[in-house]
Amino acid sequence: MNPLRALFLSLSRMPPALMLLVIVGLAVVVTMMVTGKMSESEKTFEARKAELEQKANAKGKVVYTVKDIPEGQTIPSDALEEREIEQNKIPADAITSASLAAGRVAKYGISTGQIVSQHDLAPQGISLGFEAKLKEGMRAITFGVDNNSGVAGFVNPDSHVDVICMVGSGADIKAHPVLSDVEVIAVGQIYQKAPGQTTAVPASSVTVTLTPEDSLKLIKAMSVGKLYLTLRNDKDHTPVATVDITSMFAKPAAAPKADIAALPPPSALPPPPLPGAPDSGAGLPGAGMPAAPPPPPPLHEIEIWSGSKKDVLSVPKG
C-alpha cells in the first residue's frame, strides 16, 4: 500500500483534535526540512561566490625589469624587481622569482617595465658568444690599465666610463677627456658580470665598444699618453666635452717669412751674365764678389853699415 495513503487512513481514524495536532506537527517538520535545505543551499552559494571573488582578487608574484637589457646580455640582479599583481593578469610563462632570471642570458632584448617570461631567456648552458655583446656597427677595442687607472678593479662588464688621456710631464702635463660615456663589455677575460658580485676584480686590461671613428681616437690616445678611466653611475649618461689628442700638443712655430718689401725692385738688379761668361758677381749687391786679400804685415827695416856704406834689410815683424 502507498505510504501516503496509509498515513491518511490512519489520520481518518483519529479523533479530530489529535489529527489536527499531528497535521500541525507534520507541517512544522516539513517546514524545518525545507528551511534547512534552503539554508544549506544558500551557504553553498555564498561559499562558491566567495571562492570566485578570492580567485578574481588574488595576487601573484612576477618579475619586472627596471632597466633595458640588450639581447645576448647576462641579466644582472639589480635589473630585476619582484612585484605582486592580479592573478588574472599574470602571463602563463611569467618568471615568479628574480633568482630564476638573474644570471641567465637574454634571448631577446627586454625593455624597462616588462614582465620577464620564460621565452625571454636563452636556454641554460647555451652561450650566445662574445660577439653578441657588440651592437651592429660597433667595434671592440682593448687597452691596458693598472690598479689606479682602472678604478681599483671596480669597473665591470656593462659599466660606463669616461676615458681620460694624460700627456706631458712637469709644468707641461695635460689631462683631458678623449671619450665620453663608453660602455665596457669585458674586464680582462671576463665579459659577463657574476650575479650578486660585491668585490672588485682587478685586471690589466679592459675592452670597450666604440664606433669606428671613436676607435681611431682611442688608438691615437693610446700611442701618445696614459689612459685613465672614470666610472659613471649606471643611470648617468650625460656627455662630457672631449678633445682630439692632437690639440693637447703645442704646434711648431711657423718659419719667419721673408720681408719682400726689403728686397730691391727688379729694375735695380744687374742683368744676368751671358752663357759661358765668368761670374762677375751678378745678382744682389755684394753677392758672388770675391773677398779682398788682407794687407801684408808691415816690414821691419834693419840698417847694416859697412864702413861708410849703409844697407837696409827689410824683414817681417815678429
| Cα–Cα distance, 164 to 108 (Å, whole number) | 34
Query: What local confidence, expressed as pLDDT, does residue 249 receive?
Result: 80
Beta pairing, strands 226-231 & 205-210? unpaired
Query: What local confidence, expressed as pLDDT, does residue 277 receive?
Result: 54
pLDDT tens per residue across all 318 residues of the chain: 566 667 666 766 677 777 777 777 778 888 888 888 888 888 888 888 888 777 767 788 899 999 998 877 788 888 899 998 888 888 888 898 888 888 888 888 899 999 999 888 887 655 556 777 788 899 999 999 998 899 998 998 889 999 999 998 888 899 999 999 999 998 998 887 766 677 888 889 999 999 999 999 999 999 988 999 999 998 899 999 999 888 888 776 666 665 556 566 666 556 666 555 555 554 445 555 556 677 776 666 767 766 667 776 666 665
| Cα–Cα distance, 96 to 105 (Å, whole number) | 17
Between 16-57 and 3-13, two packed helices, what is the crossing angle to 10 degrees?
140
Residues 265/203, Cβ–Cβ less than 8 Å = no
Q: Whole-model pTM above 0.85?
A: no
Set of cell numbers at residue 211: 664606433
Q: Which residues are CB-neighbours of 109 under 8 A, at least 6 positions away?
A: 68, 69, 70, 71
Query: Strand, coil or helix: what is 17?
Result: helix
Q: Which residues are CB-neighbours of 293 under 8 A, at least 6 positions away?
A: none
Query: What local confidence, expressed as pLDDT, does residue 315 receive?
Result: 64
Tell me the domain boundaries of the chain: 60-120, 135-194+202-248
Tell me the CATH class for 60-120: alpha beta
- Size of the chain in residues: 318
Residue type, 229: L
Query: What local confidence, expressed as pLDDT, does residue 275 receive?
Result: 58
